[in-house]
Structure 1
Amino acid sequence: MSQSPLSGEAKSQPSPGEPVTALPSAPDSRLARQLAFILEIDKLKSVLRRSVLADGSRQENDAEHSWHLAMMAIVLGEYADEEVDTGRVLRMLLVHDLVEIYAGDTFLYDPAEAAEQEARERAAADQLFPRLPRDQAVQLRSLWEEFEARRTPDARFARALDRVQPLILNYATGGGSWQTHGVRAEDVLAHQRVISEGSHALWEYVSQLVGDAVRRGYLAA
């Protein structure tokens, strides 16, 4: 009788419904590392952001944020100032927040958190990406670095979308995290100007949206 490729099971069997920390062994070490990585990044679904869902029911998590951005890249790609590779933008957006599994979400308008963000996220990247086979670890780490540096058209447009999405949610919820944390219009415009590096059309829209949010009392003038 042939042996199942998943025959290397853990010694102590969890009870039905009890979470496991590792999958059964795979036929080769490459697949094993890839599957272990896939299980590890499931933790992104538990990283909460300050943004609230458009219906106001609860906080958004990082995985939902990444999915939303990927859809924005598909729908809004025509507004990129430079020619972009939508496939690369999608990959970048799906990778860019993975480090928050270990580093946690950083609130853009908290100076203390922002000051430590780069160090925390680089340490997290050092911990996360090497879980993959080397070629994929290098590929995903490179996409993450490119997004952070914003030196390419793909990265600049990806970062623009990353900044637009929470603005839309805050507006849709009557102020959302702006209200909760006392954020002012001048702070929003200063931190979100990076949008203009990737899309002047989206930056123009965001500027109008912020002005309307002030008029409606969603955002302090």
Structure 2
Amino acid sequence: MENSKILEFLELVGRLKHVKRTGWILCDINDCETIAGHMYRMGIMTFLLTEENNPTKLDRLKCLQIALIHDLAECIVGDLTPHCGVSPEEKHRREDEAMKTISGLTGIAGDRMYELYKEYEDQSSPEAKFAKDLDRYDMILQAFEYEKRENTPKKCQEFFTATEGKFDHPFIQDLVKELYLQREIFEKHTVVNGHV
């Protein structure tokens, strides 16, 4: 592994600290999160897996690793959403190419990153499926946070609609129920106080 290539890799990864997520930009959310911020919270959520809420014994380290690399290709291709006019096939092709470029900079370590990226894309392991749950959950949690911050109930409803019924892991399903409950209370409270 050449140090110059590692530096190039780290600079590419560093871009994600500054790239805003497209979905929020399209929703006119000011001061929205970055791709790295999204992946960071997903990574932190893997620490919440315990003996009690992880009956299928998911590999927590693998869940963490997938969370941290699942959007890595976006440092080259950007955050492409269905609203960007790029077909799903083309999006996957671009991201796969980008991941090959990124992983090529770090030798064996890159081989592992690419392998985990493919696992996530193909949803071929329980850990990849859990990471998908985290991805969706972080998105609706973030949507709710923006609704509260801007005092605009249901402003981000499209994100809830898009993910409804798509959560598989019981622990995440419970968190979704709690989020829905808190969102309902927020909406009622806002209406009662005459803001809507």
Check whether TM > 0.5.
Answer: yes
- Which of 67, 73, 90 pairs up with 2:64? 90
1:122 lines up with 2:96 in the alignment: yes
1:45 is paired with a residue whose SS is coil
RMSD: 3.2
Q: For residue 210 of structure 1, report the CA deviation from its aligned partner.
A: 4.4
Q: How does 1:180-195 map to 2 (within 5 A)?
A: 183=158, 186-189=161-164, 193=166, 195=167
**Which string of whole-angstrom CA distances, capped at 9 and with x for unpartnered residues, describes residues 101-141 of structure 1?**
1121133x6484463421221122232221222x1221110
CA distance in 2, matches of 1:89, 1:184: 23
TM-score (norm 1): 0.67
TM (norm. structure 2) is: 0.74
Structure 1 pair 141–77 and aligned structure 2 pair: CA distance change class (3 A):
farther
* 1:104 corresponds to which of 78, 81, 84: 78
Question: Secondary structure in 2 aligned to 1:46?
Answer: coil
Q: Offset of 1:163 from its aligned partner?
A: 1.0
Distance 1:90 1:184 in 2: 23
Aligned residue number for residue 18 of structure 2? 46
Distance 1:111 1:82, change over 3 A: farther
Change (3 A) 1:32 1:155: same
2:132 corresponds to 1:155: no
What residue in structure 1 maps to residue 170 of structure 2? 200
Give the share of equivalent positions with the same residue, in percent.
Answer: 21
Per-residue deviation at 1:34? 1.9
C-alpha distance 162-114 of structure 1, shift in aligned 2 (>3 A)? farther
- 1:123 maps to a residue whose letter is E
Matches of 1:104 and 1:208 in 2, distance apart?
32
Corresponding letter in the other structure for 1:179: K
Q: Does 1:142 align with 2:118?
A: no
Provide the C-alpha distance between the structure 2 equivalents of 1:120 and 1:210, rounded to a whole number of angstroms.
35
Paired residues in the alignment total 179
Distance across 2 between alignment mates of 1:30 and 1:184: 42
- Is 1:35 aligned to residue 11 of structure 2? no
Letter of the aligned partner of 1:73 in structure 2?
A: T
8 Å CA contact 2:49–2:60 kept in 1: the answer is: no
Larger radius of gyration: 1
